[in-house]
Amino acid sequence: MKYISNGRGSLPLISLIALLSVSLTVNLPGLAVSPMLGKLADIFPHASQLEIQLLTLLPNLVIIPMILISGRITTVRNQTAVLAAGLVIFLLSGVLYLFADSMPMLVGLGAMLGIGCGLIVPIAAGQLSEWFYGNEKVKVLGYKSGTSNGIVILATVFVGWAAGFSWHTSFTVYLVPVIPLLLLPFMTNTFIRKHLREQSPSGTTDNSGSATAAKRFAHPAVTLAGVIALYIALTATSMVFTYYLPFTMKHYGLTTSQVGIATAMFYVTAMIGGFSLAPFIHIVRRTGLYVCILIMTAGLLTLGFFHTMTGYVIGVLLIGLGYGFFQPIIYNKTTEIAPDKALSTKYFSYTLAGNYVALSVVPLIVELFQYIFNNHTADFPYYLNAVLLGVVFLIGLLKRNSFVWITGSKATAEQQH
């Protein structure tokens, strides 16, 4: 059996593969439906616009409360059972999608899909943080982000290909939970503890989710709130292109297929960013989040200034790269705040719920500022969010010595300032 380092010894490679396989599922809800909304509107001509929109919105809306429920009910003893339940619900919804023949059934299955995915999301990150330490934990959290973004590339290509056979066939992408279900025995506490090779005393702690966290953070809830607020701000501002790029590119005469190519580039560099997080932090050290903001701001300005296919691809590539770096940095900060590793999943539930909140408020923020400035031009969303990222950057400079903004630090700050 092959082993890999976990920062305090080693554990089976098959266990790492099993733990990462859970991340194959977390970005899938809504994916099979999004490219087919126009086609489904033709298949179900009597469906309302709200029903069509719910096919993509409802899974993500349901995921938010289910993430919080998962974090509250999951313990070290039952996390495998909760994970298995979420995977089974996810897989069952995928099977039922293949037989759906009405819009109400599709909408209902979207809610079921959200329930299953919501139970899985915090555990996918919590399990990794439980078994890895220090730099190895940073590295595998980057792998987790890279895996969840990388599968979207493959799944998008598959959905486009499968739709050529039948609109039902596209939903086979939701059968991916079969993989982590088959690997479930290798990620249980029993299996990992049995094969774990520790090189330091069991009482030793590191700065990540350690028992000393309560001493380092006088008010951990306030510190966590700061991390979540930063996550929401960076996600909402950087992901604006997912809502407005199709309309912008159409406005400037580009085709739907070109929109799909440009959008897919985001996941390419987001995956690269996740898998190369460790060397990135080694180079930028404490300034990682500032560099991410600058990269994403450059991407947004490129989308606003250059109205060619090359310009859009470069802009999205930059946004994806910045996002791919900062997302696992936020994950790692969450584990550092948790009083002990047993609570990592619960803390992740709060942080990851913030991610879905951010995705939900993007159009509301843009519409508010469009109304305030009476500006509805195609490029306004990118300039607006570049400015908002600039504001976040300035706040970061003012708070540069706080735990929230320091990358690669051992976080000796007592609390979020």
Domains 1-204 and 209-417 share a fold: yes
Q: So where are the chain's domains? A: 1-204, 209-417
Amino acid sitting at position 312 = Y
Amino acid sitting at position 101 = D
Q: Does the pTM exceed 0.75? A: yes
**Distance, CA of 302 to CA of 93 (rounded, Å):** 40
**Distance, CA of 323 to CA of 310 (rounded, Å):** 20
* C-beta separation of 73 from 82 below 8 A: yes
Q: Which residues, including other chains, have CB under 8 Å from residue 65's CB and lie 6 or more apart?
A: 118
Q: What is the pLDDT of residues 2-58, one digit of tens each?
A: 999 999 899 999 999 999 999 999 988 877 676 666 677 778 887 776 777 778 778
Q: How confident is the model at residue 233 (pLDDT cuts 50, 70, 90)?
A: very high
**Distance, CA of 351 to CA of 349 (rounded, Å):** 6
Neighbours of 160 (CB within 10 A): 15
In CATH, the number for domain 1-204 is 1.20.1250.20
CATH superfamily of 209-417: MFS general substrate transporter like domains (1.20.1250.20)
Quickly tell me which residue has 């709200």 as its tokens.
Answer: 50
Q: What is the pLDDT of residues 165-219, one digit of tens each?
A: 788 888 899 999 999 999 999 999 999 999 998 875 444 445 444 444 445 666 7
Quickly tell me which residue has 């759906």 as its tokens.
Answer: 100
**Distance, CA of 222 to CA of 64 (rounded, Å):** 21
Length of the chain, in residues: 417
Q: Which residues, including other chains, have CB under 8 Å from residue 318's CB and lie 6 or more apart?
A: 269, 295, 296, 298, 299, 302
